[in-house]
Chains A and B, each alone.
Chain A
Amino acid sequence: MKPVYIHSVGSVSAQKTFENEEFLNEIREYNDTTVKVIDPNYKDFIPPAAARRMARGIKMSAVSSKNALTEAGLENVDAIIVGTGLGCIGDSERFVSDIIKNDEQFLTPTRFIQSSHNTVAGQIALGLGCKGHNFTFVHSAISFESSLIDAKMMLENDEAITVLVGGVDELVDHHVETHRLIGHIKKEPLASQDLLKSKTEGMVMGEGSHFFVLSNEKTPSSYSELLAVRTFNTISKDRLNQKINRFLESQQVSIEDIDLIILGNNGDINFDDYYKQLTTGIFANTAQAYYKHLSGDFDTASGFAFWLANKILKTQHIPDVVKLNAIESSSLKTILIYNQYRGENHSLTLIRKC
């Protein structure tokens, strides 16, 4: 099996991440229950004729995928794989709302077409003229990791040399309002820097788009090697340590080899215990980082974590704003990312400097 490398990154997020030369140089702080992306100038990336029907999720992805391709020096790829919890949910919701309000009359096709979950992957393929494998995964917090698993398998088995992998989700009103009703989104604003001190249920919801070029051919500018990705539909707290140990053992990696663990704390008092169990337990002596105070939480927020991990390995620098503890690693080679959402859909992603 061939090794798999991350060649490039692209991000549109609630921080100014759309310029690849920068790495969290300025931090945007929020005090809200939701956070939107900092919009790049989409006109610089998308011709007006193409942009006119594009949903926000597609626009964000047009920028982040273009940045990833440009950085990798590629015009096209062998496959496109996208994770999205909800697809272009803004158009889906407007279509439903129009059905009800107009009593099923005078509906227009564009919103329905954009509602198809694979519209981002399809649009990127259309834009590039990419006729290769084109998959879209839509499984809550492991949507992005499912895409990584598919891409990794393709590259390991030489079914492709380059794969564009991404995760995207957009923030829209009806979704936020309904999920606030059931306590999944916070009812009161929370300042970014207070995320971990939160005593309330629910998340601060965000949005974003993250794309990466993965390849089985290493280049001098590759960010890292993707060693392993696994997802679990369930893990109980008392089985978490065992699952992580087994995952690391399968890669012949020990806890001491982990130079940094990046955790998906989202400030939900009911579910952040999973992370606390690790930070005070088996990873108590490991350097720790978190990120959802910067990105907000959403189904593919772990795309931001993957971006962060790769940036850290490339720059050999951990920005202070993401540090969870004061432990300094003697080296920065191996990073483990762990995420879960509401106690379900856990993921472990292991990357190493190459």
Chain B
Amino acid sequence: MSELKLELKEKIIEQLNLEDVSVDEIADNDPLFGEGLGLDSIDALELIVMLDKDYGIKLADPKEGRKIFESIDTMAAYIAANRSN
């Protein structure tokens, strides 16, 4: 699980171009949106593509992303439970 979390942090930084953020600065339970990392709705769409491409998880409704992308913890838990690759 902790490996997956680290992987997610690295991917988020790369995918979303968070140049000034390092892996250590993202705590597992930090909110990713709003306060915290400050991601927005376009980032959420980017993360949905990442779920699909890297973990074979397809979301049909962008609203589903809100709960899943709350924090690294919630993301990792969802991926672990639903991944197909």
Residues in A lying within 8 Å of B, measured CB to CB? 48-49, 51-53, 105-110, 113
A343 CB to nearest chain B CB (Å): 42
Q: Which of A51, A52, A113 contacts B16 (CB 8 A)?
A: A52
Is there an interface contact between B42 and A53, defined as CB atoms closer than 8 Å?
A: yes
Is there an interface contact between A110 and B49, defined as CB atoms closer than 8 Å?
A: no
Cα–Cα, bound, A109→B15 (Å): 12
Q: Which of B16, B38, B45, B53 contacts A106 (CB 8 A)?
A: B53
For the A-B complex, the count of residue pairs with Cβ-Cβ distances under 8 Å equals 26
B17 cross-chain contacts in A, Cβ below 8 A? 52-53
Q: Does B18 contact A (CB under 8 A)?
A: yes
Cα–Cα, bound, A48→B17 (Å): 10
Cα–Cα, bound, A106→B38 (Å): 24
Residue of A nearest to B15 (CB): A108
Q: Which of B15, B38, B42, B53 contacts A49 (CB 8 A)?
A: B38
Q: List 8 A-B contacts (CB under 8 A).
A: A106-B49, A108-B45, A108-B49, A109-B42, A109-B45, A109-B46, A110-B42, A113-B42
B46 cross-chain contacts in A, Cβ below 8 A? 108-110
Q: Does B20 contact A (CB under 8 A)?
A: yes
A31 CB to nearest chain B CB (Å): 33
Q: Does B30 contact A (CB under 8 A)?
A: no
Is there an interface contact between A106 and B42, defined as CB atoms closer than 8 Å?
A: no
A288 CB to nearest chain B CB (Å): 46
Q: Does B7 contact A (CB under 8 A)?
A: no
Q: Which of chain B's residues 1-51 have a Cβ closer than 8 Å to chain A?
A: 15-20, 38, 42, 45-46, 49
Is there an interface contact between B52 and A106, defined as CB atoms closer than 8 Å?
A: yes
Is there an interface contact between B19 and A48, defined as CB atoms closer than 8 Å?
A: yes
Cα–Cα, bound, A53→B38 (Å): 13
Known pairs A110-B42, A113-B42; A52 contacts B18 (CB<8 A):
yes
Cα–Cα, bound, A49→B20 (Å): 9
A38 CB to nearest chain B CB (Å): 21
Residue of A nearest to B45 (CB): A109
The 7 closest A-B pairs by CB, nearest first: A52-B17, A106-B53, A48-B20, A109-B45, A108-B49, A108-B46, A106-B49
Cα–Cα, bound, A53→B45 (Å): 13
Cα–Cα, bound, A250→B79 (Å): 70
Residue of A nearest to B53 (CB): A106
A339 CB to nearest chain B CB (Å): 36
A53 cross-chain contacts in B, Cβ below 8 A? 17, 42
Cα–Cα, bound, A209→B22 (Å): 32
B18 cross-chain contacts in A, Cβ below 8 A? 52
A49 cross-chain contacts in B, Cβ below 8 A? 38
Cα–Cα, bound, A51→B19 (Å): 10
Cα–Cα, bound, A110→B15 (Å): 11
A109 cross-chain contacts in B, Cβ below 8 A? 42, 45-46, 49
Cα–Cα, bound, A107→B52 (Å): 10
Residue of B nearest to A109 (CB): B45
Cα–Cα, bound, A108→B51 (Å): 12
